[in-house]
Amino acid sequence: MDKHSAVRRGEWLEIPLHRAKSESLEECLLKNYFIPQKLIDKLKQNNGVRTKAESVLLRLFPYESDDYITEWAELDVLFEDDFCLVVNKPAGMAVHPAQAGRTGTLANIVASYYQTTGQSCKIRHIHRLDEHTTGAVLYAKNELAQIQLDEQMRMKLIHRQYVAFAEGLVQPNKGRIDAPIGRDRHHPNRRRVSSTGDTAVTHYEVIETFNDASLLNLRLETGRTHQIRVHLSHLLHPLIGDAVYGGKTKRLSRQALHGEVLSFSHPFFGDALDVHAPWPNDLLNLLAELRLSIL
């Protein structure tokens, strides 16, 4: 069954149905479109299901509102359709407010973007980046997309690839860091490698070296707070600019870490998506500076 034949009609998604006589609507939607029973039940309770002769309409795009204060700023949109949004987060910005009513976060800007483009979506971020880490952040634009993308996260099917500049020459050139991470009881805002911490696995590969630094590709197998920063510090190769974990700030005043590629399956159509986030200027400048230093 071709999922791409589904058509949005305002708040509704019209889906073709080709089901056996003995097959219920719910069984057909689950088997062919992976729409869970709980969501169908919820839609039915709110008059969100309409059936036709050979199709069904689901009210997947209802009017929604959020409590986030809208705050306009330029937003670097990397991918968008009716189900999901991927944006390139700048440095120095939290993904969401720590307290209700706060501004200055990516959530406030995404809320403004939805409003100014005539979209009534709640803010549903699927994963986070540290305040001073740049790169791709994924949002679900409706409840079905959130259910499917959250499940992909749980099953480790959303892959996040980072680039980072580390202090020193990292050896070996490729490796797997398997070291559990827990809270640092001496520093409430820090994490540390701890035998009693949560499982944390990072894969890395050196892609370029300089006089006293290395450029790395990294892939997360788990998603612990500050995972890359803690793991590289544990290897005695902290990120350039990461003063919290031992990096020097002479060349850069924030951790040199960027979420470059986000790979996931579309939450409705199932297509494989690889979304690339361009490097920010400060990392491009750092790369140029490091290359000049070895001439």
- Of 41, 67, 81, 130, which residue is the catalytic one? 130
Amino acid at 163: V
Neighbours of 236 (CB within 10 A): 11
CB 17 within 8 A of CB 55: yes
CA distance 152 to 157: 5
CA distance 180 to 201: 8
For residue 210, give every residue at least 6 positions away whose Cβ sits within 8 Å of its Cβ, in sequence order, or none.
290, 291, 293, 294
150 included as an active-site residue: no
DSSP string, 49-84: EEE-SSEEEE--S-----SPPP------EEEE-SSE
Q: Which two tokens stand for residue 195?
A: 């035998």
| Residue in this structure with the two tokens 């099917």, named with its chain if needed | 157
Using alpha carbons, list the distances in angstroms from residue 180 to 23, 195, 224: 47, 6, 9
In 122-276, alpha helices (H): 143-154, 227-234
Amino acid at 290: L
User: Residue 228: how many CA atoms within 13 Å on its side-chain side?
Assistant: 27
Q: Say which DSSP state 127 is in.
A: S
In 74-170, alpha helices (H): 106-116, 143-154
Q: Please give the positions annotated as active site.
A: 130
